[in-house]
Amino acid sequence: MAEKEATVYIVDMGQSMGERHHGRPMTDLEWAMQYVWDRITATVATGRKTATVGVVGLRTDETINNLEEENFSNISILFGLGQVLMPDIRKLRETIKPSNTNRGDAISSIVIAMQMIIEYTKKNKYKRKIVLVTNGTGMMSDDNIEGIIEKMKEVNIELVIIGADFDDAEYGVKEEDKDSRKAENETLLRSLTEDCEGVYGTLEQAVSELDIPRIKVTKSMPSFKGNLMLGNPEEYDTAITIPVERYFRTYVAKPISASSFVPRSSTEPGSQAPVEGKGEGEGDALSSVRTSRTYQITDETAPGGKIDVERDDLAKGYEYGRTAVPIEQTDENVANLQTFAGMGLIGFVQKDQYDRYMHMSNTNIIIPQRANDNASLALSSLIHALYELESYAVARLVTKESKPPMLVLLAPSVEADYECLIEVQLPFAEDVRSYRFPPLDKIITVSGKVVTEHRNLPSAALKDAMSNFVDSMDFITTDDDGEPTDDLPIDESFSPLLHRIESAVRYRAVHPYDPVLDPSERLTQFAHPSEEMAKNSKSHLEKLMSTADVKKVPPKTKGRKRQRETEKPLSGLDVDALLSLEPKRTKISTENAIPEFKQTLSRAENIDAIHDAVQQMAKIIETQITHSLGHSNYDRVIEGLGTMREELVDYEEPVVYNDFVRQLKGKVLREELGGDRRELWWFVRKGKLGLIGKSEVDSSAVEEEEAQEFFATN
Amino acid sequence: MAEDYYTREEDNYEDEELDQTSFKSVKDAVLFAIDISSSMLTPRPSPDPKKHGDESPASAALKCAYHLMQQRIVSNPHDMIGVLLYGTKLSKFYDENEDDQEDLSYPHCYLYTDLDVPSAQEVKHLRSLTSPADGDDDVRQILEPSKEPVSMANMLFCANQIFTSKAPNFSSRRLFVVTDNDNPHADNKAMRSAATVRARDLYDLGVNIELFPISQSDHEFDTSKFYDDIIYKTSPSDGDAPAYLQPDTNASTGKGDGLTLLNSLLSSINSRSVPRRSLFSNVPLEIGPDFKISVNGYLLLKKQEPARSCFIWQGGETAQIAQGVTTLMSDETGQEIDKSSIRKAYKFGGEQVSFSIEEQQALRNFGDPVIRIIGFKPLSALPFWANVKHPSFIYPSEEGYIGSTRVFSALHQKLLDSEKLALVWFIPRRNASPVLAAMIAGAEKIDENGVQKIPPGMWIIALPFADDVRQNPDSKINRAGDALNNAMRDVIRQLQLPKAIYDPSKYPNPSLQWHYRILQAIALDEDFPESPDDKTVPKYRQVHKRAGDYILKWAEELNLQASEMFDGSAATSTLVKRGAKTEPASDHPPKRVKIEDSAPGVEDEVKKCFDKGTVSKLTMVVLKEFLHSHGRATAGKKADLVERVEQYFEQKL
């Protein structure tokens, strides 16, 4: 459980806060509220009832507080401590506007905030905090300031004062021609925070740091508590057993997830929250979505070929190939391997023999059981022995009884004040997919000859240029003292999606009508090499580019008729010549339609021959549709259509295809091809087998729009 | 719990999106064409009489097909496989009458297993063929070679028809030809050219012929005699994939005994078992500003999970899977709603903060897909722990930029030579969340049969963001003294894995294999196997034999250091009871090298109660401690715990 919080924000709303200073496009209040809204919405986003917030207005027109004294005039409690919800945000947004007065004492407002906190939190354990944001121009009295400081310390409240154009030598802000009263106030506030051991800062810095993503610290729970074993203690006397615990080392933080809603159909009165405050934002006219699941089976005799079945009539089971294997409820666990929790060492491997890309998962750490000195001593010897031998351990890990075993790699981690094993999952045999690729440093010809000079192989000059370029692009990371380190910039890199969505949600909550913002620079700082690096490596890059001589493939020639040479078998035999001798191949046969269609096209000497081939193919396809039982032939039809389209694009004969597919659509819609074939049209659409548009082949007269509309069936 | 949640989540997260640019369905069909000639059926005896390796080439091929079929059920449950025997005396093709051997379309072609997603029956059926020795007469009849030669043209057209009708519109169709005859129509030119024409048909149909040649004892298989006219460099459907032309040297010289032959054939077929499907294609690899090459991405390492359970309806003749249909309803009106009217919103401050679909998309958009190099670092800068998921593999493609391969190769060699990694900004697909990643060069690896195991290319390893790094929990460090470390080093030295490497192929996933093994047994109504063949269980006997003495030495040293360091405090601590050794080591050798976390004697106490039949008298605390220290679940009522403890002892006996 996170600690309870009580934070009061004091917002200076004085008339002078409505002014713009030093050429800023926004008023001081707008500027201050950037900071305040960010902090408040960050709290709201946690959704925690115990993270309470209060808001006090300083230098307001009215006076709304319990201390009915002159000293406390023009100070208003705008929101008493409690959980902030959306309607409160809307209300505050309306309320917080510059007032028509500059009266109101900042020090008094702090007293009021203290009072609020003391009343609300009583003696309970809370994280107490007061944040004052002001431009420091009002009247401030230091009466009884010692009493305030004392009380502040006594109830343990953290005081944060942020000021617009407050001087801050450390951050480098100094306001020229500062008003003397403001200078006095700054001194007062600074000494107050110093005495309270609080934080005093300038608004410019506070706002500029808003885009530093805040990392949610998650307390890890052990994902395994059990024994690390070498050998089998149940069977042998020589087995080692060390009680250990396992925690996440890395774990991907996911962006907050959106839920599905539908707009409310009606806004009938009496409907429940969250409809209150209707019309304010757009988030409130939504109704949540429920899902219900029904089950269907294929039944040829039923209309539509499917019937509904009851969930209760179904057994749980699995697919084995195309056989459905039901599993009786009684032995539901029969297909689960019986396992017992534990981490059993299988053997050891050499660090330099391990390929880093075998890491399959997030990583964990293994530490000794809490308060078990012997365990920590024993584990320490394993960690150090692995470290000294430059070895890793391979282990079989079952985190809980009946869980599937994992194979994990254990690496020693020894730091000055910490040691542990780092654990990562290894691939099983089934996890490795063997795709083969030719070597990159040589070409092996069909005859087995090894070639080392080839257009796909880099020349010595290219290798050189690449080497120089790579060496000129060292990514520099530095430690706190600015010394270069060998670290990757993990600590400075933030999940772009997670933080962008989070800040977008918070921004929208306060500004419902603004468009979504671009990601902050901080989130995309690693999207490009730094300007400095780019500059340093520029000459090497230019040299590399000119040596490499890489040419972009113009989009037009992509997928163009393939090179004839590849259409020969390995021997290079001219099969085309043999084909033309085949006496039977004058007509395209149904059973061998696709090859024969392609071959006919490749032999075609004039457009008539192409027309003829397409016509024959069209007939075959139409017959297949007509004779299709349900959708039984549709895959063949789609393959035929797709082949035709592909070939005719390659031969730049879009008109022939377009004429054919238009006719086909007509026949499908008029149900001339064996009844209702709308489902087939859906497949045509999915396979994008409609008209060939201009963008694909220049000579087509079909505009993109027409090609799109063509898919519609009405 | 968290672990479990994580892996499930990962499934949705890592959308293994395949390129859907083509009209074809992304499926694979493999048809084995196995030559059944007398030489293929002649067993090749093993020189070592102890090995039962009297395997004939044909039976080796059938075993490979059977192996692949089983493997695909696990790893590619929607892909098809079939087995066509050719050169057989008998013929069989769909509903053609087998008895009427006169009027056959494809004489001496026997379609043994039709091309389809295999059923349990078909698995069994194929298995019966793999051990013809104990097979029945039917099997022997099927495996009888024909006296007259089979026409290769006919066989190829037969395969053509099978693919055309059974696997229409598949993106990958492959014909695996296994034969020892490198020149089937040596003296008949017409038949030979007919075969080349039929091979061209297959090529135009998009079927890839893959040859698994077997050399005969007296001569090497020579592809130039016939097969170079049959096989094409690439299949047209796989146009952009670079051809892998290196012959499997050892596979083709499978001249040795049957077992060697089987192994090399297996390894060769395994390496081609999965059709190559890209994860993303033609993504620019941006080496510098304005300098791009094109690459394709593949998933070479991906956790294979068992297929999800489903619901089965058994009311009909055959059990069938019920398809779940989800309907969405408005909570307000209870009416069904159309997907298009759904809006996404985030819960915030007790209400919803919503975005339009366009805004939602805009928020996820960080630019076009790219792998952009932002700098280089030494390889050693990549910490062991900096990992969040499996890697992606990239290989150059000439489709987007001509010259990509040579540039990629130059970078590959440079990174290998200088032991550097490239830091990259990586967006694999449109609207995919960008990651910062380390790109490292991987060298090609070849196995003992000369078959490529790991292809050359680059691996992209996503790095954790600062958000993904967890703080180390507090842990008290008791550093071991040198003597103890040295003792442990001696233990480790004894227990290196072969070649000091981790070889995934040696470790099939035991729960996955068991799962499908049981399903097979249920589907075929066979007896369940006694115990799983679990290769991941450590070899306890070996540990004892090889390292036992060293472990005892280590334990002694541990005991010594512990008593020095903790000065008896450990012994009295309530949490550390019987340390590695509390008995004086001189009296009797240590019984248990165990750092107990349980109260002293829990072990003995429970055992005693079990012997007396009074386990139920023990307290929950003791029961839980006992079960936990033996890796058993500790949830449930007392009765459950008692039962579990009793089970534990009963199993041990």
**B576 in contact with A at a CB cutoff of 8 Å?**
yes
- φ and ψ of B152, to 5 deg: -65, -35
| All residues at 6 or more sequence positions from A595 whose CB lies less than 8 Å from its CB, including other chains | B160, B200, B201, B202, B203, B204, B205
Please give the pLDDT value at position B542: 92
Q: With beta carbons under 8 A apart, name residues in chain A contacting B551.
A: 230-231, 238-240
**Could you report the per-residue pLDDT of B21-50, keeping only the tens digit for each?**
567 777 889 999 999 999 998 888 766 666
**B356 in contact with A at a CB cutoff of 8 Å?**
no
Q: Cα separation of B37 and B146, whole Å? A: 7
Q: What is the 3-state secondary structure (H, E, C) of A189-243?
A: HHHHHHHCCCEEEEHHHHHHHHHCCCCCCCCCCCCEEEEEEECCCCCCCCCEEEE
**Residue A104 pLDDT > 50:** yes
- φ and ψ of A520, to 5 deg: -70, 155
- Percent helix, strand and coil across chain A, each to the nearest 5: 40, 20, 40
**Could you report the per-residue pLDDT of B107-138, keeping only the tens digit for each?**
899 999 999 999 999 998 998 888 756 657 77
Give the range among A651-660, B312-321, B549-558 with minimum mean pLDDT. Answer: B312-321
Please give the pLDDT value at position B438: 97
Q: Does domain A219-252+296-431 have CATH number 3.30.70.100?
A: no
Q: Give the closest of A236, A250, A426 to B468, CB-based.
A: A250
Mean pLDDT score, A670-696 = 87
Q: Which helix (H) or strand (E) holds A387?
A: helix A373-389
Selecting among B24, B225, B255, B607, the annotated active-site residue is B24
Length of chain A: 714
Q: Is A364 exposed, middle or buried (CB count within 10 Å of its CB: 0-12, 13-18, 19+)?
A: buried
Q: With beta carbons under 8 A apart, name residues in chain A contacting B321.
A: 297, 317, 319, 324
Which of B587, B586, B604, B592 minimizes the C-alpha distance to A374? Answer: B592
Top pLDDT among B425 and B318 is at: B425
Q: Which of A334, A433, A541 to mutate to test the interface with B (most CBs of B within 10 A)?
A: A433
How would residue B101 be classed by pLDDT, with cut points 50, 70 and 90? low
- φ and ψ of B223, to 5 deg: -70, -20
**Could you report the per-residue pLDDT of B451-510, keeping only the tens digit for each?**
788 999 999 999 999 999 999 998 888 888 899 999 999 999 999 999 999 999 999 999
The winner for highest mean pLDDT among A491-505, B262-276, B560-574 is A491-505
Q: Cα separation of A639 and A633, whole Å? A: 10
Top pLDDT among B397 and B448 is at: B397
Mean pLDDT score, B194-205 = 92
Question: What's domain A593-712's architecture?
Answer: Alpha Horseshoe (1.25)
Q: Give the closest of A88, A287, A594 to B331, CB-based.
A: A287
Please give the pLDDT value at position B339: 73
Mean pLDDT score, A519-534 = 90
Q: Give the closest of B314, B373, B467 to A498, CB-based.
A: B467
Q: With beta carbons under 8 A apart, name residues in chain A contacting B570.
A: 373-374
Length of chain B: 653
DSSP state of B543: I
Distance, in angstroms, between B653 CA and closest chain A CA?
11
Mean pLDDT score, A669-682 = 87
Residues of chain A with CATH 1.25.40.240: 593-712
Please give the pLDDT value at position A126: 93
B24 is catalytic: yes
ipTM of the prediction:
0.86
Which two tokens mark A203?
Answer: 């608004």
How would residue A555 be classed by pLDDT, with cut points 50, 70 and 90? low
Q: Which chain B residues in 70-99 lie under 8 Å from chain A, judged by CB atoms?
A: 71, 73-75, 77
Q: Which of A309, A350, A377 to mutate to test the interface with B (most CBs of B within 10 A)?
A: A377
Q: With beta carbons under 8 A apart, name residues in chain B contacting A470.
A: 376, 411, 414-415, 418, 420, 422
Q: Give the closest of B231, B379, B420 to A570, CB-based.
A: B231
Distance, in angstroms, between B64 CA and closest chain A CA?
16
Sheet harboring A127-134: ordered strands across? A75-82, A51-58, A5-12, A127-134, A157-163, A199-202
Please give the pLDDT value at position A275: 37
**Could you report the per-residue pLDDT of B173-185, keeping only the tens digit for each?**
999 999 999 999 9
Please give the pLDDT value at position A293: 83
Residues of chain A with CATH 2.40.290.10: 219-252+296-431
**Cross-chain residue pair B328–A294, CB shorter than 8 Å:** no
Distance, in angstroms, between B42 CA and closest chain A CA?
30
Top pLDDT among A291 and B443 is at: B443
**Residue B469 bridge partners (DSSP):** A250
Q: Cα separation of A30 and A17, whole Å? A: 8
**Cross-chain residue pair A327–B25, CB shorter than 8 Å:** no
Q: What is the 3-state secondary structure (H, E, C) of B176-235?
A: EEEECCCCCCCCCHHHHHHHHHHHHHHHHHCEEEEEEECCCCCCCCCHHHCHHHCCECCC
Q: Which chain B residues in 374-433 lie under 8 Å from chain A, judged by CB atoms?
A: 374-391, 393, 395-396, 398-415, 417-418, 420, 422-423, 425, 433
**Cross-chain residue pair B375–A457, CB shorter than 8 Å:** no
**B342 in contact with A at a CB cutoff of 8 Å?**
yes
**Could you report the per-residue pLDDT of A163-211, keeping only the tens digit for each?**
999 998 888 888 888 888 899 999 999 999 999 999 999 999 999 888 8
**Cross-chain residue pair B479–A592, CB shorter than 8 Å:** no
Please give the pLDDT value at position B287: 95
Residues of chain A with CATH 3.40.50.410: 5-211
How would residue B420 be classed by pLDDT, with cut points 50, 70 and 90? very high
Q: With beta carbons under 8 A apart, name residues in chain A contacting B127.
A: none
Please give the pLDDT value at position B48: 64
pTM, two decimals, is 0.85
**Residue B5 pLDDT > 80:** no
Q: Is B489 exposed, middle or buried (CB count within 10 Å of its CB: 0-12, 13-18, 19+)?
A: buried
**Residue B318 pLDDT > 50:** yes
**Could you report the per-residue pLDDT of A379-437, keeping only the tens digit for each?**
999 999 999 999 999 999 999 998 999 999 999 999 989 999 999 999 999 999 888 88
Please give the pLDDT value at position A673: 87
Distance, in angstroms, between B124 CA and closest chain A CA?
12
Q: With beta carbons under 8 A apart, name residues in chain A contacting B456.
A: 437, 439-441
Mean pLDDT score, B327-353 = 81
The proportion of chain B whose per-residue pLDDT surpasses 90, expressed as a percent, equals: 38
Q: Cα separation of A521 and B90, whole Å? A: 73
The winner for highest mean pLDDT among A33-37, A255-259, B529-533 is A33-37
CB-CB neighbours of A152 under 10 Å: 24
- φ and ψ of B300, to 5 deg: -90, -20
Show the domains of chain B with their CATH numbers. Answer: 30-274 (3.40.50.410), 279-302+364-467 (2.40.290.10), 482-563 (1.10.1600.10), 601-651 (1.10.720)
**Cross-chain residue pair B332–A571, CB shorter than 8 Å:** no
Tell me the pLDDT of chain B averaged across its residues: 82
Q: Which helix (H) or strand (E) holds B34?
A: strand B25-35
Distance, in angstroms, between A545 CA and closest chain B CA?
7
- Contact between A239 and A231 under an 8 Å Cβ cutoff? The reply is yes
Q: Give the closest of A239, A247, A439 to B456, CB-based.
A: A439
Residue with tokens 């600690």: A3
Q: Give the closest of A238, A296, A495 to B323, CB-based.
A: A296
Q: With beta carbons under 8 A apart, name residues in chain B contacting A405.
A: 510-511, 534, 536
**Residue B580 pLDDT > 80:** no
**Residue B199 pLDDT > 80:** yes
Please give the pLDDT value at position A39: 93
**Residue B596 pLDDT > 70:** no
Q: With beta carbons under 8 A apart, name residues in chain A contacting B318.
A: 324
Q: Cα separation of B33 and B87, whole Å? A: 10
Strands (E), A399-525: 406-414, 419-425, 443-444, 450-451, 477-478, 484-485
**Could you report the per-residue pLDDT of B242-254, keeping only the tens digit for each?**
455 444 444 444 5
Please give the pLDDT value at position B53: 57
**B629 in contact with A at a CB cutoff of 8 Å?**
yes
**Could you report the per-residue pLDDT of B603-648, keeping only the tens digit for each?**
888 888 888 888 888 888 888 888 888 888 888 888 888 888 888 8
Sheet harboring B25-35: ordered strands across? B109-116, B80-86, B25-35, B170-179, B207-213
Chain centroid to CA B595 = 37
Which of B308, B334, B309, B314 minimizes the C-alpha distance to A312? Answer: B314
CA-based nearest residue in chain B for residue A518: B363
Please give the pLDDT value at position B253: 47
The proportion of chain B whose per-residue pLDDT surpasses 70, expressed as a percent, equals: 84
How many CB pairs below 8 A link A and B?
Answer: 896
**Residue A212 pLDDT > 70:** yes
Please give the pLDDT value at position A141: 85
- φ and ψ of B304, to 5 deg: -90, 115
The proportion of chain A whose per-residue pLDDT surpasses 70, expressed as a percent, equals: 94
Roughly what angle, to the nearest 10 degrees, separates helices B57-75 and B510-523? 100
**Residue A259 pLDDT > 80:** yes
**Cross-chain residue pair A324–B320, CB shorter than 8 Å:** yes
CA-based nearest residue in chain A for residue B159: A592
**Residue B77 pLDDT > 90:** no
Q: Give the closest of B302, B345, B496 to A347, CB-based.
A: B496
Q: Give the closest of A47, A318, A635 to B310, CB-based.
A: A318
Q: With beta carbons under 8 A apart, name residues in chain B contacting A260.
A: 328, 342-344
Give the range among A530-534, A540-544, B94-98, B367-371 with minimum mean pLDDT. Answer: B94-98
CA-based nearest residue in chain B for residue A464: B410
Please give the pLDDT value at position A464: 95
CATH number of A5-211: 3.40.50.410
How would residue B594 be classed by pLDDT, with cut points 50, 70 and 90? low
- Contact between B112 and B85 under an 8 Å Cβ cutoff? The reply is yes
CA-based nearest residue in chain B for residue A233: B592
- Contact between A422 and A413 under an 8 Å Cβ cutoff? The reply is yes
Please give the pLDDT value at position B3: 33
Tell me the pLDDT of chain A averaged across its residues: 87
Q: With beta carbons under 8 A apart, name residues in chain B contacting A487.
A: 381
**Residue B649 pLDDT > 80:** yes
- φ and ψ of A507, to 5 deg: -65, -45
The winner for highest mean pLDDT among A65-74, A242-251, A480-489, B358-367 is A242-251
Q: Which chain B residues in 468-527 lie under 8 Å from chain A, judged by CB atoms?
A: 468-473, 475-480, 484-489, 491-493, 495-497, 499-502, 504-512, 514-516, 518-520, 522-523
